[in-house]
Amino acid sequence: MAIDRDGVVAAFQLIIEEIESVAQNIADQGGDAFRRKDYEKAQILGESGKNLEAFRARVAALLDDWQAGIDIDTRKRFLPTERRIKKDHVTAHEKAPKSTLRVTLPTGDIVEEYFAADTFALAIKALGIDKVRSLNITETGIPLIDSTKHPQYSQRKVDGWYICTHSNTHRKKEVLERIAKKLGVRIKIEVQEAEPG
């Protein structure tokens, strides 16, 4: 099943992919200049590459701010159109398949979003944020659910709460299993590889 990104995320990801493509091109040119012993050109390209990487990090931070600072329900209002997300270019490198989560709740309802972090956060919401908060679970040394945004760790904002999502997909599965066990509910959690896009 194809899972939609919101339009802002899709736009940011296209920007990041384009930056990575240009960065790879610069790296290739820099390596070629170095092999030709054109050290001046290699140095200029190296500086450009460093600046581009710093810019990419700022764009990635903005994407993280969007995902952590704007609650999931609001972000769902920004569904992408085909025109906006159409890709007519090939990136410089292949990326590994992205893992996603699919959570079947005790009600039979399924939570499955494009990002595992969103699925994780919405599954916690469905299980009851107050109930899960009462378990006092910590993740990466901070509360799993907190009232304030952490400056370092990835979080998702849901109903005014910040849910720590700073872990890989398999870890998220383990945390959800632990929550379900402590709450005495049965849920099915599947880790899936996303279809190539």
Mind listing the pLDDT tens digit for each residue in 158-182?
988 999 998 889 999 999 999 999 9
Q: What is the pTM of this model?
A: 0.60
- Confidence label for 1 from pLDDT (cuts 50, 70 and 90): very low
Q: Please determine, for residue 89, whether its predicted confidence score (pLDDT) is greater than 60.
A: no
The DSSP element (H or E) to which 110 belongs, if any, is strand 110-111
Question: pLDDT: is 6 or 178 the higher one?
Answer: 178
Cα–Cα dist 43/27, whole Å: 11
- Confidence label for 186 from pLDDT (cuts 50, 70 and 90): very high
Angle of CA points 124, 179, 113, to nearest 5°: 35
Region 127-132: mean pLDDT is: 96
Is residue 164 helix, strand or coil?
Answer: strand
Cα-based distances in Å from 176 to 96, 110, 145, 188: 24, 14, 13, 10
Task: Give the largest Cα separation in the chain, rounded.
Answer: 66
